[in-house]
Structure 1
Amino acid sequence: MKPSSAIGIAVATAGILMGALMGGTSPASFIDIPAFLIIFGGTFGVTMASCGWESMREIPALYKIAFRAPPDGTRERVALMVSLAEQARREGLLALDDRIREIDDEFTRKGLQLVVDGIDPDLVREVLEAEIEGMLARHTAGAAPFDKAGGFAPTMGIIGTVMGLVHVLQNLSQPATLGPSISTAFVATLLGIGSANVVYLPVANRLKGLSASELTLRTLTMDGILAVQAGDNPRVVEEKLSSYVAPMARNAEEEEATPVASLQDRRVAEAA
């Protein structure tokens, strides 16, 4: 698992703080309790009003998914589908019943069970497509709170700044306090824009990217299951499903499968 999202947010935060330090500004000057309450409390409230409490309850789990996303499994899924195609051609579709118990992915198990049960291919496709549509709807709902928060947080920052400036204007009779008061007022804007662009929107985009990857994996799986049901040649199944694998991953797989001696012979030939 690669926590790229967590690393990216940490790097962005560190870069902002280092820039502030190099500019002579202390990070402690960004700590303002009223601004924190306005930005984070206000953003949480309006996001909950937009998405509902049920969506807000899922936020900790969604952060975990974004920060610890599983690796891409398309190559492994292609290998599984080819293996199933080979067994089905050799032993028949009913022989796949024993393999179903060994598969961890629920979507794959469901599709194979339909095939083993002798369900019509068109109906199998309809069922699996309905599963995919349901997954996309859940993923869209999961990313919505972060999208909404990314839009609301800057506005909450402006509200906090305006409130701070109102306080400044009420104390114009005390010139010595104007500078610190104005500085504190703009902390709200900084927190609102910063939280939106460093945390909320990146996490939302990460979840959307993971959803797209899962869509690709499930579409690959559906095509593979239907090919197995149709009795396609395993080599044809592999060629068909390999189109879902990124070219770089395909090249890496080919290099791993190439014997060392062949690589050495190729280098000798190129040198000649």
Structure 2
Amino acid sequence: MKAATAIGIGIAAIAIIMAGIMEGVTPTALLNINALILVLGGTAGAVFGGVGMKRFMAIPKLYMKAILSQQPNLAERVTTLVAFAERARKDGLLALEEEIEAIEDPFTRKGMQLVVDGTDPDLLREILEAEIDAMAARHKLGSSVFEKAGGIAPTIGVLGTVVSLVHVLGNLSAPETLGPAISGAFIATLYGVGSANVVYLPVCYSLQMMSAKEVDERSLILEGVLAIQAGDNPRIVQQKLLSYVAPAERLEVEGGGKADLKAVAEPAAEAA
């Protein structure tokens, strides 16, 4: 689902608030601007210090990718590559050159261009595997920003609680204020633990899952390109590539017609 991350975060947040209300906590009791500034500001500062300006400024873009990006359609990739294999088997590899410019996915276009240029198969694999490894490394850097935030936020929340308790313990002369003051002190811990486990870590896991899916997609394309270069039978190419596709999605390939060579979907958004 395209907005699964946002929906999941919303469900978790609503569940926490509803549980608090059922325990008798009023929504206004959970609102503490000072604690919010401390946790969000402290976490942002610590993350900025750990990842640097460039990766920190990419955070809004990464949020959008985690929430809005769709998973790659592996079945569609198989159909398209099989169509390329059929064309190459019928008219030769050079006949694919006229189709290359219409390919929207840069990785597929690069692979097919290397095939048409007559690149050695071992070198072709090496080049495309380097592309996959570099992409996975970029994705890991992106998701690590939220992983760091998920580890830092609870600690910042505890620090906020300690700061508040220092103030509370310095005013023991007014016992009637101790209850509300101590209650308010723990709001910072709630914000820290809550933001880490409801927002930062789910976004991190979403980006990691997207990265794994795109690695699978590019691995599929790599094997398809090599099979086309080797002149494998299109049916053999299809069966080889279907190993990357979930069983429930294979009927889309096995029962569908031939793909339009120009209809190569855009790649999944990179968390770069």
Q: Which moved more, 1:163-172 or 1:19-28?
A: 19-28
Q: Secondary structure at the residue paired with 2:69?
A: coil
Q: Secondary structure at the residue paired with 1:52?
A: helix
Do residues 55 (structure 1) and 55 (structure 2) align? yes
Where does residue 185 of structure 2 map in the other structure? 185
Where does residue 137 of structure 1 map in the other structure? 137
Runs (4+) off by over 4 Å:
251-254
C-alpha distance in structure 2 between counterparts of 1:51 and 1:24, whole Å: 41
Do residues 46 (structure 1) and 46 (structure 2) align? yes
Q: Which moved more, 1:94-103 or 1:126-135?
A: 94-103
**Cα shift at 1:210:** 0.3
Map Cα deviations across residues 74-96 of structure 1 (whole Å, 9 max, x no partner).
00000011000000010111111
Where does residue 155 of structure 1 map in the other structure? 155
Give me the TM-score of the superposition, normalised by structure 2: 0.92
Retained in 1: the 8 A contact 2:76–2:253? no
**Cα shift at 1:253:** 5.5
Q: Which runs of 5+ in 2 are unaligned?
A: 257-272
Distance 1:253 1:116, change over 3 A: closer
Map Cα deviations across residues 153-176 of structure 1 (whole Å, 9 max, x no partner).
000011001111101000000111
* Equivalent runs, 1:163-202 vs 2, <5 Å: 163-202=163-202
Map Cα deviations across residues 96-115 of structure 1 (whole Å, 9 max, x no partner).
11111221110000111111
Distance 1:146 1:17, change over 3 A: same
Q: Secondary structure at the residue paired with 2:186?
A: helix
Where does residue 8 of structure 2 map in the other structure? 8
* Equivalent runs, 1:99-114 vs 2, <5 Å: 99-114=99-114
Give the letter aligned to residue 172 of structure 2: L
Where does residue 226 of structure 1 map in the other structure? 226
Retained in 1: the 8 A contact 2:71–2:210? no
Give the letter aligned to residue 53 of structure 1: M
**Cα shift at 1:251:** 4.7
Superposition RMSD on alpha carbons, in Å? 1.4
**Cα shift at 1:72:** 2.9
Where does residue 204 of structure 1 map in the other structure? 204
Identity over the aligned pairs, expressed in percent? 53
**Bigger relative contact order, structure 1 or 2, given CA contacts below 8 A and separation 6+?**
2
Q: Secondary structure at the residue paired with 1:171?
A: coil
Q: Which runs of 5+ in 1 are unaligned?
A: 258-272
Larger helix fraction of residues: 1
